[in-house]
Amino acid sequence: MGLTGIKILVQQAQTTPSWQNVQQFLQLAKQWPQIVGGVVAQQSRPIALTDQGILRVAVSSAVWAQTLTFERPRILLKLQDQYQLPIQDIHFSSRDWRSQGFKPKPKSNSNAASKLSSAAGISPNSGDAIQPPAPQTAKEAFEQWQQTLQRRAQKLNCCPQCHCPTPQGELDQWQRCSLCHARQKLINISQNILENP
């Protein structure tokens, strides 16, 4: 078989639906950052499209898998609009990330949750909660915990005695925070002991 025969075979193969699906999948993988946004693309990679129409996406952690699973319908609609691939569903797996040997790019900013929200097309005030990615260091974990406490404290009423943010249940039960209530109990006990030796 000469080179002309090979050229004809390649041209025939390129016209088959399976070849076209492979080419479209490769195009999808190349354009993944434009589809899901840069932050999400750093933590996820499409790795296969099964015969059943399931797009397998490797993600860097279980937190990312859960977060993107919530965003799956939106991503699926975007993919179905842009590509002729027979994509029926998307499965996200951190196991695939490890088995493929991918490594996440380091985060350049500690405000990754807001970047993820904007990348996913969710406004910060829309009420859709997105979990931030898992912290990589103890410092990041502490900062996330501190930010969560600050957000919660902003929604609380203040204790009338110490003016600290206080859960409504404590205010309903004692008309003050639990610390002020405990302090007052200790003062009462101390006074009782001093008055009745």
Please give the structure tokens belonging to residue 30: 């190349």
Q: How many helices (H) and strands (E) does the chain have?
A: 11, 5
pLDDT in tens, 101-155: 676 555 444 344 444 444 444 333 333 445 567 777 777 777 887 887 777 777 8
Predicted pLDDT of residue 123 = 38
Predicted pLDDT of residue 70 = 87
Please give the structure tokens belonging to residue 108: 């350049």
Average pLDDT, the chain: 76
pLDDT band at 98 (very low <50, low <70, confident <90, very high): confident
Of residues 96, 103, 92, the one with CA closest to residue 42:
103
Assess whether pLDDT exceeds 60 at residue 36. Answer: yes
Predicted pLDDT of residue 182 = 87
Give the helix ranges, DSSP H, for the chain.
3-14, 17-30, 32-36, 38-42, 62-70, 72-82, 94-100, 112-119, 138-154, 168-174, 178-195
Q: Minimum mean pLDDT among 45-54, 149-158, 173-182: which range?
A: 149-158
Predicted pLDDT of residue 125 = 39
Please give the structure tokens belonging to residue 67: 């977060």
Q: How far apart are CA 160 and CA 133, in angstroms?
A: 37
Predicted pLDDT of residue 109 = 41
In the chain, the DSSP E strands lie at 44-49, 54-59, 89-93, 157-158, 165-166
Q: Is the Cα torsion angle 119, 123, 124, 126 positive or negative in sign? A: negative
Most confident residue range from 21-30, 42-51, 111-120, 142-151: 42-51
Q: Where are the domains of the chain?
A: 3-135
pLDDT in tens, 58-93: 998 888 888 888 888 888 888 888 877 778 889 998
The amino acid that residue 143 corresponds to is E
54-59: strand order across its sheet: 44-49, 54-59, 89-93
Contact between 13 and 19 under an 8 Å Cβ cutoff? The reply is yes
Please give the structure tokens belonging to residue 34: 């434009």
